[in-house]
Amino acid sequence: MDAVLVVNAGSSSVKFQIFEYSPSAAPRCLVKGQMDGIGTKPRLRAAGSNGKSKSLVDQTYGPGEIADGPAAISAVGDWLRNTQKLTLVAVGHRVVHGGPDYDRPILVDHDVLERLKQYCPLAPLHQPNNLAPIRSLMERRPDLPQVACFDTAFHRSHGALADRYAIPEQFYREGVRRYGFHGLSYEYVAGRLRDVAPEIAAKRVIVAHLGSGASMCALLEGKSVESTMGFTALDGLPMGTRPGQIDPGVLLYLIAEKSMSASALENLLYRDCGLKGMSGISNDLRELQTSKEASAALAIDYFVYRIALNAGMLAVALGGLDALVFTAGIGENSAMIRSRVAEKLRWLGVALDDHSNQKAETLISRADSRVRVYVVPTDEELMIARHTQRLIRK
């Protein structure tokens, strides 16, 4: 069977999905899996696409056997070849940063790969790990088409006001601008709205992608007009380990008064801030919800407060608001966060139906709510599969 492999590579894990490829039909997911604990306690797991199927594999390795991302991709590839009897026709990759050059998915060659390397400092947690499996597969299977799908591409529709910082023009020309991220998620949700809520899909919509990484996006006619993230994936909402919006003067203070190096500052901002830094307990919202520590409650309060503040900002960018959509891990699964955010947005006309919210139904607002509120599960991997299939058909 012809298939497309979709890869979402991180620092300690590689998530993957296999989609049936057809020249004329939409991609259909066959297998979902991941290799986690890379370099420490590697474990390969995979199951059928509906998540309820019997496990296809649950295998552990020694740390030295799967020491890095390329080794993980190699092990995943060996397992697929030996057990699934598939013929790979292409591989689609999530690549976080496409910079100013790439506003759509692209077939990757050596030149493209080199250009994408220059954005590693702008997404140090993601970009190097996104590119490592591309490079590895390019060496092992130079004949295999690979497609890079960018988290920034969906936001390239921003106008000049949303795209810029108030800094000298030369820096903008060099690429210092507001890119926005989680674009694959927003693109998928914008498409799903045409199916689940066609009456509001083209109207003024705020999508809250709330997970370990969190951001919000303002949609008008299904296109991104503003986002809470900017030059890097540090801006906007507080996240699991990232601070979100912060006064640049704080960073200057840490450099001048605390003698922090660039690498120490990078480590602080990407790994030790956000919910983890505020609570001093965990970056996992589920742990914070069960904690009795005051710092855990403060971190949750702050998270909700900043979501509501940014919703107000995005409503201004849209000139009003017709719908609010929750998506991603926290957005899809935490009725408490949805309820608390909605309460702070009552002034905008948001009114939740408590029963629908607890059940995480698609429409969770009351009939008398001026702003409709939805829960729409995201599927970035399916979005990548669609882009990959579309490109290789050409």
Q: Which residue has the tokens 């995201």?
A: 378
Distance CA 230, CA 223 (A): 17
Cα distances (Å, whole numbers) of residue 266 to 8, 12, 233, 261, 263: 23, 18, 12, 8, 5
Q: Which of 151, 163, 235, 322 is catalytic?
A: 151
Exposure of 13 in the CB half-sphere (CA atoms within 13 A): 10
Catalytic, 36? Answer no
Q: Which residue has the tokens 């790990």?
A: 129
Partners of 16 in beta bridges: 7, 33
Helix axes 248-256, 262-271, angle to 10 degrees: 130
Nearest to 288 by CA among 334, 339, 233: 334
- Tell me if 82 sits within 8 A of 68, measured CB to CB: no
Strand order in the sheet with 2-9: 57-60, 43-48, 28-36, 13-20, 2-9, 87-95, 146-150, 106-107
- Tell me if 159 sits within 8 A of 186, measured CB to CB: no
Distance CA 111, CA 92 (A): 17
- Tell me if 23 sits within 8 A of 393, measured CB to CB: yes
Distance CA 121, CA 215 (A): 20
- Tell me if 3 sits within 8 A of 21, measured CB to CB: yes
Q: What positions carry a catalytic annotation?
A: 151
